[in-house]
Structure 1
Amino acid sequence: MKNILIADDRPEIRTLVRITLSSDGYQVTECQSAPEAVALARQTPLSCIIMDIDMPGEYDGLTAIQKLHADPATADIPVIMLTGSKKLQDKSLQAGAVAYLTKPFSPIDLLKNIQQAAQRS
């Protein structure tokens, strides 16, 4: 079973993503900050990370992608940005995100992007 990490400070978004992914056979781990996401990625084998940009904590989702890509242990984990901002797509993709979805999002689009990310890794 593929394990996906959802990093978002809003519990309702984490729940929606978890329900969407669980119904498609994915195991979902959740956290609510970028530093937590980086720590979990170093401890847990992950197939993909779905991350918000704007979260509380010492750094945001963009910085988390940079930290993940700088660490050989986590560099190959694909990251999909799922955020409310329509303005940071270019920065996210330059930082290393494999996809950029805005909220509200289509569960079908999310699943498609996860499947495409899995094929790249």
Structure 2
Amino acid sequence: MQKTILIADDHPEIRTLVRITLSSDGYTVAECKTAPEAVDYTAQHPVHLILMDIDMPGEYNGIKATHILHSNPETTNIPVIMLTGSKNFQEESLQSGAVAYLTKPFSPIDLLKHVQQFVNASQ
């Protein structure tokens, strides 16, 4: 079964880079532009892992979205990796339920390693 990774980021170039990186490794990639859109998408579609930016437009940010996802019994077991340009929110992100924190710019190899680690752990 092919694994679906959701990338939630308001920058189309980041979503494209992530999609190309993960698709080349056999993952299906879904994309959202805001944190609320990611929460809604995850409630309606099977997702195996979420890559979540923190600072996005919308009603709330990626940290709040991660907290919402991990407060819901239906989505609590989906690993969330924060993929953000900020180095200032690591502790808050991990407390919200994120399993890892990667800062931009990121290495596609590091991204793949983290995705593989947490997708395999969530099976």
TM-score (norm 2): 0.96
CA distance in 2 between counterparts of 1:45 and 1:93 reads: 23
Aligned pair count? 121
CA distance in 2, matches of 1:53, 1:32: 11
* Identical-residue share of aligned pairs (%): 69
What SS class does the counterpart of residue 88 from structure 2 fall into? coil
How is 1:94-109 mapped onto 2 (pairs within 5 angstroms)?
A: 94-109=95-110
Task: Specify the SS of the correspondent of 1:28.
Answer: strand
Q: Kindly indicate whether residue 7 of structure 2 is the aligned counterpart of residue 6 of structure 1.
A: yes
Report the Cα offset of residue 64 of structure 1. 0.2
Whole-angstrom distance in 1 between the partners of 2:121 and 2:27: 17
Structure 1 SS opposite 2:86: coil
Q: Deviations over 1:70-111 (max 9, x none)?
A: 111111000000000011111111111011000000001111
**Match in the other structure for 1:111:** 112
Consecutive unaligned residues of structure 2, counting only runs of 5 or more, are none
> Aligned-pair distance for 1:60?
0.2
Aligned-partner Cα distance in 1 for 2:54–2:69: 14
| Cα drift, residue 120 of structure 1 | 2.5
Unaligned runs of 5+ in 1: none
- 2 CA distance for matches of 1:75 and 1:90? 19
The match for 1:30 is: 31
> Hey, which bits of structure 1, 4+ residues long, moved more than 2 A?
none
TM-score relative to the length of structure 1: 0.98
Cα RMSD (Å) of the superposition?
0.6
Deviation at residue 35 of structure 1 after TM alignment: 0.1
Task: Tell me, in whole angstroms, the C-alpha distance in 2 between the residues paired with 1:79 and 1:115.
Answer: 13
CA shift, 1:119, in A, is 2.9
Q: How far, CA to CA, are the matches of 2:119 and 2:33 in structure 1?
A: 23
SS across alignment from 1:117? helix
SS in 2 for 1:4: strand
